Chain A
Amino acid sequence: MCLAIPARIVEKTGGENAIVSLDGVKKEISLALVADAEVGDYVLVHVGYALNTISPEEAERTLSLMAEMGLAGEAAE
């Protein structure tokens, strides 16, 4: 029950709601679970709610770690 998709907050609407965009597809969701999210932040969207914000720094770090893998193997080839 975990399908969650990263999307960018483009506009805050009334109450705790906001519009998020995923490559141009927009949907209104609730920010009730991420009180401090701001326009421009990327959030994980699940069943109409943002669950958490995504850390850009950590995402970069993860990708860098991945990129470092397998290099020893490649060098050996």
Chain B
Amino acid sequence: MKYVDEFRDKALARRLAAQIAEEADPARSYNFMEFCGGHTHAIFRYGVQDLMPENVNFVHGPGCPVCVLPIPRIDNAIELAEGGAIVCTYGDMMRVPASGRNSLIKAKAAGADIRMIYSTQDALRIARENPDREVVFFAIGFETTTPPTAVAIKQAAAEGLRNFTVFCNHVLTPAAIQHILQSPEVRELGQVHIDGFYGPSHVSSIIGSAPYEYFAREFQKPVVIAGFEPLDVMQSTVMLIRQINEGRFEVENQYTRVVTPEGNAHAKALVSEVFELRRMFEWRGLGDVPYSALRIKDAYGEFDAERRFTLTESRGRDVKGCECPAILRGVKKPTDCKLFGTVCTPDNPMGSCMVSSEGSCAAYWSYGRFRLERVKEAAE
């Protein structure tokens, strides 16, 4: 596969590993937070950590929009389906635990009309094919996934698709990064020590690299926008280490084949035509984060599920003992959670970090569990 296989090349990986080993100062450690679930996935699936020296560590942040969606919003989606609407959702959301251990897939098994789709175009098609039913698209995702929702809403407006609405849960990454950097845990010494960030690949392809300048300046931490493939992550690591060693804190772009400073102007314009900022939005694990999420503008209000339907409002509460909130902030590791691997497994997930394949816990489990067992055995 072009533009994929070249960036997974073993020989180049060894070169980059050698470079990292050479430039990493043995007198200190480097902790880099990867914000994007896709990076978590790449790191574990390809075993990138195996190629890093001991003093270079990945800290897994909340890069997973599935992980940060609060339980009440999933409850609302189930509520809409149980109320008779056809609820269309991306596959990722199906197994995420909601209240009372319910989930979209369980609600579907109990008879709710919940349909997994690949594209917002599929949701529009379902709306056209079922003119007598309400069709709600459960919109989630960061800035990468927002433009496709904007396109769908505009198309629905142009076609006069009266039975189509969107339940909007789109969130913004810069707001989340800022919140992590400013959270009380970060200020306390020794709890979360982040030296730099891997900027999200495809979010940046839409919003550009410019929005990250603020963090680099304000918090004096380097940001390198990194592509998704394992070689991209490794090259970005070299760039981050260099910045730290040279005392720089800039935004650099490693993913130049896709990301430009301005991003995709057309996509951004579509989004700002349809959406506006919410003053406040609850993120699972991060609490209320200001100006971090989007809602549908009045001009497209008739396609807003929250306006058309009355939804129960509540605050989410995680399962007792579930450390997702701390794990999402990078404060704790999955292995620090008492439920991990005991009660909480991919077959029986307690929190979203385990259900979502991008979640830290799922990644640890699927790809790295054996390391932990070895460590446990060695300790005994």
Contact = CB atoms under 8 A, between A and B. Distances in A.
Chains A and B directly touch (beta carbon < 8 Å)? yes
Interface of A: 1-6, 8, 22-23, 29-30, 32-35, 42, 44, 46-49, 51-52, 54-56, 58-59, 61-63, 65-67, 69-74
B257 A62 contact: yes
Interface of B: 1-4, 6-7, 12, 14-19, 21-22, 36-38, 63-66, 90, 92, 118-122, 140-142, 144-145, 147-148, 151, 200-203, 205-206, 227-228, 231-232, 235, 238, 254, 256-258, 264, 266-267, 270, 358
A4 B231 CA distance: 16
Nearest to B118: A48
Given A49-B147, A62-B256, A74-B18, 16 more contacts: A1-B65, A2-B144, A2-B201, A4-B144, A4-B201, A6-B3, A33-B151, A33-B264, A34-B264, A46-B148, A48-B148, A52-B205, A52-B206, A52-B264, A54-B258, A61-B256
10 contacts: A2-B36, A2-B63, A2-B203, A4-B201, A6-B4, A8-B2, A22-B1, A33-B266, A47-B118, A48-B120
A71 B16 CA distance: 9
Contacts of B92: 1
A27 B4 CA distance: 18
Contacts of A23: 1
A48 B149 CA distance: 11
**Interface of chain A, main secondary structure:** mixed
A70 B15 CA distance: 4
A57 B335 CA distance: 43
A56 to B, nearest CB: 8
A55 B147 CA distance: 21
Contacts of B119: 29-30, 47-49
B3 A33 contact: no
Contacts of B232: 62
Contact of A69 (B7, B19, B38, B63): B19
A71 B92 CA distance: 42
Contact of A1 (B64, B122, B267): B64
A70 B18 contact: yes
B254 A44 contact: no
Contacts of A3: 38
A4 B144 CA distance: 9
A32 B144 CA distance: 14
A62 B201 contact: no
Contact of B3 (A42, A49, A71): A42
